[in-house]
Amino acid sequence: MLDEITEAVLAREEVARYIESSRGADGARERIEGYLEELRTTQRYPIYRALRHPLYPILRKIERVAEHIDRAAAATHAGRVVYASNHKSHTDYLVELLVLDENGVRPPIIAAGINLFGGPLGLLHRHVTGAIPIRRNTKDPAYLITLKAYVAELLHKHDLFFYPEGGRSYSGEIKSPKTGLIHAALQAEHPGLLIVPTAVAYDLVLEDHVLARQRVKRTQRPFSRELGEMVRHAVGYRSRAFVTFGTPIAADVDPSSRRDVLDFAHTVMQAVGLLFKVLPTAVVASAMRPSITRRELTSRADAIIDTLRAKGANLGVASGAEAVEFGLAPLAGRGVIVVEHSRVRVRERNVLRYYARTLDHLLASPSRRTH
């Protein structure tokens, strides 16, 4: 017997039309049912909340700071919600969902890369956290139509949290959005559906050295290998994580218009970019030269902050002096820069550029012409 959501997906007009047009030549129905089995997820939230205890060794290194959580709470009271966030780190899944939970906001289902679903972690995602495994960059029409239909049906019962950029940003900058899951959410045609732009920013990203070394994601590596690298770089790691929620955006978009959907996705990501917390480490990284005095660094940081303020950025630092005071030590402790009395030198250029690029959406790409 088919479960309720499988029946609902198979009954959707676009799915039935695809199966009919295939006329069974490529086993379209069987493939769709197979993909639905892969996508099936269950959220057991009392168990999920208990996961913070075994994860304490990582979570205690990250101070979670919530901004405008009232916007998320109000949106969930008004109706169905889709959170759209930038993606910095594997810790995003923990930090952002815990911020919602700690403030009593209804828990969403989360969309995560299928590479996170191997071994014990996969069992947790599938049977506890309620995560949906996403095959990124696939062009199989059967999968794409199944995924969108599944998400549309899921939204009738759950909120959704996803990353329009797809995977993490390997370069540091906020990437252009992919429209697949936004399109799926719009296809649900849920009355009163709200998109809540969400931004996460860290003083230091746990995987900064790993991501900066690659800059561009070329192949999908096993998560076990990535986890090992994260554990290695977690030695001495401390950071704040700012999770900022924006004003909900009504999903009044025609899902049949590709142009409207794409424009809407860019509107959401522009809102995310303005919510992104500007922290001292990013300002210092943007202001740095290969070798610079503290005085000159402070002056350059002041100019950057003035520009950001004029752009309406979400500033977490008020002056160049403050940026230098609170930004140098974390970057030096991470081995990214070297502070020698009144002079600062770059040690890990790629990692420094990674942090500088986090502000590229607000500045004239300073990371491409410095250090």
pLDDT digit string, tens, across residues 49-91: 665 555 556 778 899 999 999 999 999 999 999 999 999 998 8
Residue 367 has pLDDT above 80, yes or no: no
What is the domain-level CATH number for residue 309?
Answer: 1.10.10
Residues 90 and 183 in one domain: yes
Task: Let me know if residue 346 belongs to a domain.
Answer: yes
State residue 130's pLDDT score.
Answer: 64
Confidence at 231, pLDDT banded by 50, 70, 90: low
Residue among 66, 191, 39 at smallest CA distance from 125: 39
Residues 323 and 363 in one domain: yes
Task: Let me know if residue 86 belongs to a domain.
Answer: yes
Residue 34 has pLDDT above 80, yes or no: yes
Select from 227, 253, 273 the last residue of a domain.
273
What single DSSP character describes residue 367? G
Select from 273, 303, 332 the last residue of a domain.
273
Q: Where are the beta strands (DSSP E) in 270-351?
A: 277-278, 291-293, 314-315, 337-340, 343-346
Residues 235 and 319 in one domain: no
Residue type, 258: R
Rounded distance between C-alpha atoms, residue 247 and residue 271, angstroms: 9
Domains held by the chain: number: 2
Rounded distance between C-alpha atoms, residue 204 and residue 279, angstroms: 10
Residues 83 and 189 in one domain: yes
State residue 1's pLDDT score.
Answer: 46
Mean pLDDT of the chain: 86
Residues 308 and 253 in one domain: no
Select from 244, 273, 302 the last residue of a domain.
273
What single DSSP character describes residue 234? T
DSSP H or E stretch at residue 322: helix 320-333
Angle made by CA atoms 74, 78, 81, in degrees to the nearest 5: 85
Residues 285 and 239 in one domain: no
Q: Give the pTM.
A: 0.88
Full domain range(s) for residue 284 = 278-368
Residue among 36, 50, 46 at smallest CA distance from 2: 36
Residue among 194, 174, 177, 176 at smallest CA distance from 185: 194
Task: Let me know if residue 203 belongs to a domain.
Answer: yes
Residues 105 and 237 in one domain: yes
Rounded distance between C-alpha atoms, residue 128 and residue 130, angstroms: 6
Residues 362 and 218 in one domain: no
Burial (CB count <10 Å: 0-12, 13-18, 19+), residue 119:
exposed
Residues 159 and 239 in one domain: yes
Residues 142 and 83 in one domain: yes
What single DSSP character describes residue 155? T
Rounded distance between C-alpha atoms, residue 149 and residue 146, angstroms: 5
Residues 269 and 293 in one domain: no
In degrees and rounded to multiples of 5, residue 170 shows phi and psi of: -80, -20
